[in-house]
Structure 1
Amino acid sequence: MIGGVATLAAPSATRRAVASAGRVVVKVGSSSLTTAAGGLDPARLAALVDAVAGRRSAGSQVVLVSSGAIAAGLAPLGVRRRPRDLATQQAAASVGQLQLAHAYAASFARHQLTVGQVLLTADDVWRRAHYRNAQRTFSRLLALGAVPVVNENDTVATEEIRFGDNDRLAALVAHLVGADALVLLSDVDALYDGDPRRGGARRISEVNGEADVDGVDAGAAGASGVGTGGMASKLAAARLAASAGIPVLLASAADAARALGPADVGTAFAATGSRLSARKFWLGHAAGASGRLHLDAGAVAAVVGRRRSLLAAGITGVAGDFDAGDVVELLDPAGRVVGRGVVAFDAAELPDLIGRSSHQLPAEQRREVVHADDLVPLMAR
């Protein structure tokens, strides 16, 4: 851990919301559960479980998103450091996932709590039917009093369809289960505007909007050597969840009891957006995009500013190979993604239609390219 426990005299509204949340998603990273050489750290895992059990006994439902499968499999396989090739990562995950699940089951049993393992791939979030199935599974596990323990299914995930890190997975799961708060636990005690190990970095206790993180240098991957995420991925996940109406607390795993208790440690991210429907969130943040539509300025104003449907007249270019019913990204004239939606035409059909007004099109093609009901405007990024 970097830094010590720093408590606040008067908790903010965001912290009170996290502390009182009825359903919480908690994410913990590999470095907070394992040793640098690989293998689980029983004391760290037990402390985390005690904190989650304490929140459960206070009346909240908890979903635990846990990294650590690959790292846990390194020592048993005699691998000294995290492998770079996918096949060895998958082999380590297949060994480590069993150890991780067994360790959680045994530790939660000390509190008379049952765990249920949920392994997800990106397909389970990108595909609408899979997404809804996952929602039902989580709902039933929570209704039965179990603690769902979630991880990416590293044994079958490929480079092309990986989430990239479990911080993003946690933000997606938080919306999928209708969480009231997201708690991100790591080996750093808060968000800083630079690397706190180098000195001179300013600790940020509250994030109420984008202005509060302007100029933050979140770096890249973690320094422990056993995980894939770093502060950059945690900041991105916190922004994603907050923009979807979910308050976030970022804190050290060593402070898990306080993070899941009074929430008076770490950095609190206020919810900056309204809660989206599951379908709108899926369209905007979870679904895989099969292509891109380039829009002129007028179409961007209509789609983003006035929440109108996208018509062929406002499209200037088409990229990708997609079918009607696929999700596509909408780009402004500067090439920034400003929206996502379900396209009503195949990619092969659109070149002959773009730039033409509805009255210039054959009757059977006089329909929206992306209907407003199937479109989610996004901040330019």
Structure 2
Amino acid sequence: MTAEKTTTADGEAARTSTTRTTIANAHSVVVKIGSSAITSIVDGLDVARLDRLVDAIEARMRAGSDVVVVSSGAVGAGLAPLGLVTRPRDLATKQAAASVGQLALANAWGASFARYGRTVGQVLLTADDIARRTQARNATRTLDRLRSLHAVAIVNENDTVATAELRFGDNDRLAALVAHLTRADALVLLSDVDGLYDGDPRKGNANFVPEVSGPEDLDGVVAGAGGTLGTGGMASKLSAARLAADGGVPVLLAAASDAAAALGDAEVGTAFAPRPTRMTARRFWVRHAADEHGALHLDAGAVEAVVGRRGSLLPAGVTALSGIFYGGDVVALVGPDGRTVARGVVAYDAAEVEEMIGRSTRDLPPESRRPLVHADDLVRF
């Protein structure tokens, strides 16, 4: 999709496209707020900036939209009260800062929305909560119920218990996953950057990228890591935007200072077009959210059957397995060249699969004649 250029009354170029129109008219929206948008190293939580964001979110809700907020900033909000002048590097201090900041952050969101007579509910998640199908469904039910009770859900990563292995990455990935869990119509990522550039704009000679309709629009784009307060940076935001768009959710990446416009006509920032058809919740979970517990290694014939003919995976086409997994776990399907060609829900434990490798289905006992991975439980890459 190519951005169409129009001109406003004051002569500034405004970007309009089908994607932006969809975002502007979306009924259900997830809004992610970056750490740097509401906190600073010196002063901690910036209530004035948070109030301005709430003003923009409230305007969107009064226009008829449902909004879920994914808010970073717990660690940043906890630095000043603890007398810390730099973002801590060790996990224990980060978690201590988060435990102090999380309380301040939740209270600030609650006080700001209270100006409009709204109640907020805090939902703390770890990556493990999303990776486990049952817990992900429970999180979805909680978020849906909060919305039905007209409360504003404030979602954050549970930094006080999350370890490096269980982290989302500055909440960008979390926001993309929440957008799909809540069946949102759009995702708006607000931070200290006004959109996507093909390089670092601070170094000059970087070109702004107004629209991303597919991978080809990202050729030559170099995304950097996080800043002083955040941990994700542009690389994290780009990855989250592509994840959400791949799931069928349009995305707008914009500056927090442009929140009113981003949540209004959406003619700021970079818009990411979604895939034409939205993934089912189960397929999205298999592809993006579930932990990978092992791998099944396929011969060329099995790759053709699974990917080319979109069939189920049978034992005859498996040459080896790796990892420890159990029936119901998600595993990678790896081709002869070592490349992952699909992910799927395996029907048997690793010990059972070991006995079935390379065997024809008709040579197996009746209880073992189901496919190793059924076509309905496969997501192909």
TM-score normalised over the length of structure 1: 0.94
1:284 pairs with 261, 265, 287, which one?
287
1:257-289 Cα shifts (integer Å, max 9, x gaps): 000000000000001242112122112111111
Structural mapping, 1:149-228, within 5 Å:
149-219=154-224, 221-223=225-227, 225-228=228-231
Task: Give the equivalent residue in structure 2 for 1:248.
Answer: 251
Contact 1:113 1:147 in 2 (8 A): yes
Task: Give the equivalent residue in structure 2 for 1:307.
Answer: 310
How many angstroms apart in 2 are the aligned matches of 1:156 and 1:246? 29
Classify the secondary structure of the residue corresponding to 1:19: helix
1:345 pairs with 343, 348, 353, which one?
348
How many angstroms apart in 2 are the aligned matches of 1:100 and 1:133? 24
1:105 pairs with 90, 105, 110, which one?
110
Classify the secondary structure of the residue corresponding to 1:351: helix
Question: Greater CA deviation, 12-21 or 298-307?
Answer: 298-307
In structure 1, list runs of 5 or more residues that go unmatched: 1-5
Contact 2:34 2:170 in 1 (8 A): no
Q: Quote the RMSD (CA, aligned, Å).
A: 1.5
Task: Return the offset for 1:82.
Answer: 1.2
Task: Give the equivalent residue in structure 2 for 1:3.
Answer: none
Task: Return the offset for 1:307.
Answer: 2.2
1:190-219 Cα shifts (integer Å, max 9, x gaps): 100000000001100011111000111012
Q: Is 1:143 aligned with 2:119? A: no
Task: Give the equivalent residue in structure 1 for 2:333.
Answer: 330
How many angstroms apart in 1 are the aligned matches of 2:55 and 2:276? 32
Task: Return the offset for 1:10.
Answer: 5.2
1:355 pairs with 358, 365, 369, which one?
358
Classify the secondary structure of the residue corresponding to 2:45: coil
Classify the secondary structure of the residue corresponding to 1:73: helix
Amino acid in the other structure paired with 1:112: G
Residues 149, 243 of structure 1: CA spacing in aligned structure 2 closer, same or farther, 3 A cutoff?
same
2:44 pairs with 23, 39, 42, which one?
39
1:26-45 Cα shifts (integer Å, max 9, x gaps): 01110111113361112211
Residues 171, 123 of structure 1: CA spacing in aligned structure 2 closer, same or farther, 3 A cutoff?
same
Task: Give the equivalent residue in structure 1 for 2:7.
Answer: none
Task: Return the offset for 1:115.
Answer: 1.0
1:117 pairs with 115, 122, 128, which one?
122
Contact 1:38 1:226 in 2 (8 A): no
Q: Is 1:127 aligned with 2:132? A: yes
How many angstroms apart in 2 are the aligned matches of 1:227 and 1:90? 15
How many angstroms apart in 2 are the aligned matches of 1:156 and 1:237? 22
Question: Greater CA deviation, 203-212 or 277-286?
Answer: 277-286
Contact 2:71 2:155 in 1 (8 A): yes
Task: Return the offset for 1:301.
Answer: 2.4
How many angstroms apart in 2 are the aligned matches of 1:32 and 1:209? 28
Q: Is 1:13 aligned with 2:12? A: no
1:93-113 Cα shifts (integer Å, max 9, x gaps): 100000000000001111222
